[in-house]
Each structure stands twice: as C-alpha cells, then as structure tokens.
Amino acid sequence: NAGVTQTPKFRILKIGQSMTLQCAQDMNHNYMYWYRQDPGMGLKLIYYSVGAGITDKGEVPNGYNVSRSTTEDFPLRLELAAPSQTSVYFCASSKDRRTSTDTQYFGPGTRLTVL
Amino acid sequence: GENVEQHPSTLSVQEGDSAVIKCTYSDSASNYFPWYKQELGKGPQLIIDIRSNVGEKKDQRIAVTLNKTAKHFSLHITETQPEDSAVYFCAARGIAGNMLTFGGGTRLMVKP
C-alpha cells in the first residue's frame, strides 16, 4: 500500500490564482481530512469527510472547498489564493472512529506559498 | 470546542536522559489522545495513543499517562536517542466524529 499520497509537494501561487491539492489513499478508509500547519504551530482542521459524497467544515474552512466523489480521493480547492493561505497542507485518512480503527494516517504534505 | 495546550514548545536533552512533554485539554468528554512524531519534511506519524478508560500505556521507551480529573496527559520518552529528535504533537478527540484537536507541538532535540 502507498498509504496517503499528496500532489504536488511544493507550489508557488500568485494572489488570486486558484489550484487544487490532490489527496488519495489506497487503504479503503472511510474518513478523510485536510489540515493546515502554519510555521511553529499545530495542525488545524480545514475540512473532513466521513464517506463518499459527505463533507463537512472543520475549524478553518474559509477560502477552501472540497469534494469527495470516490472513497479514494479527497481534493482540496483554493479558489482565490491569498497570502494568509501560505502553509503546509496535510491530508489524512482513517478507517472510521471505532476503537482500533480510528488512527489517522498522514500524507507527506504540500508546501504552498502565495505571493 | 476543544482546546489543547502543549508544553514546552522546545526541549533539549542529553542522549540517554528522559524527556517529558505535557498537554492539557478543555473538553471533559474527550476520550482519545494520540501522540504524533513529525520529522523534518514529513507528515506526522502516530507513535502512541491512550483512551479515556486507561491511565497509562507503554511501548518500549515511550509511555503516555492520562489524568482525566485534571484533564492532562503526558508523553514520556526514556533513554533518548538522537533519532528521537523531531517535533511531537499531542491531540485530543471529542465525542463527535473523529476530529482531532492538536496541541502546538514540542521540538525535541537530543544532543549526542
């Protein structure tokens, strides 16, 4: 299993541009998550999904959109990039929330800079 | 919502010494407390977790303790090695969904 994969690894955007961060998992996990990590800070939840077709907002959803058309993929969309969105973005997945299957597995991250 | 505070933000120890990182949480209904290790340029990786029905859990050189009354939990690393150097994050999960609230992280440096 490749686990959780993310593309691209790095990206520089100009203010106002849009882009999609890709996330895929091959573990047949139901739950998927997007976090952002600002320098020297912990991770903050942007959006999450409990299954295909179901998404919900996390702590910091403004400026982002998500979709979940398949179990495997959970892309994150930035429509109008702003400097405040400069961060490292991590995608994660878990089977569900039951004991022994609720561990969240993280991808390697996408480092985004908005200039 | 849940709020998790983590201390210290940086910790430097000599190889072979012990390291302790502490976290407090605000939601008394939280029932799951994982610890993640993040190496430079990589995503966080789970190293140990504890649930609210247990007071302590050990895995080789790593242990976690939980005090539900005081709403705090701690990570203990014994016999530290240079490869333990990383950023460590604690997290807490409330009763709804599987959403984790993370602490701010601790940068551990183990000096050889």
* A48 touches B: beta carbon within 8 Å: yes
Alpha-carbon distance of A11 to A61, in angstroms, equals: 20
Q: How far is B29 from chain A (nearest CA, A)?
A: 15
Give A-chain residues touching B9 at CB under 8 angstroms. Answer: 40
Q: Which DSSP string do the residues of B59-104 spell out, in sequence order?
A: ETTEEEEEETTTTEEEEEE-S--GGG-EEEEEEEE-SSTT-EEE--
pLDDT at A2: 82
Per residue in A9-34, pLDDT tens? 999 999 999 999 999 999 999 999 99
Mean pLDDT within B26-52: 93
Most confident of A40-44, A101-105, B62-66: B62-66
pLDDT at B97: 67
Model pLDDT, residue A51: 94
Q: Are B61 and B47 in contact (CB under 8 A)?
A: no
Q: How far is the alpha carbon of A75 from chain B, nearest alpha carbon, in Å?
A: 17
- What distance in Å separates residue B62's CA from the closest CA in chain A? 18
**Inter-chain contact B42–A50, Cβ cutoff 8 Å?**
no
Which pLDDT value is given to residue A86?
96
- Tell me what the pLDDT averaged over chain B comes to: 94
Cβ proximity of B38 and B86 under 8 Å: yes
Query: End-to-end CA distance of chain A, in Å?
Result: 36
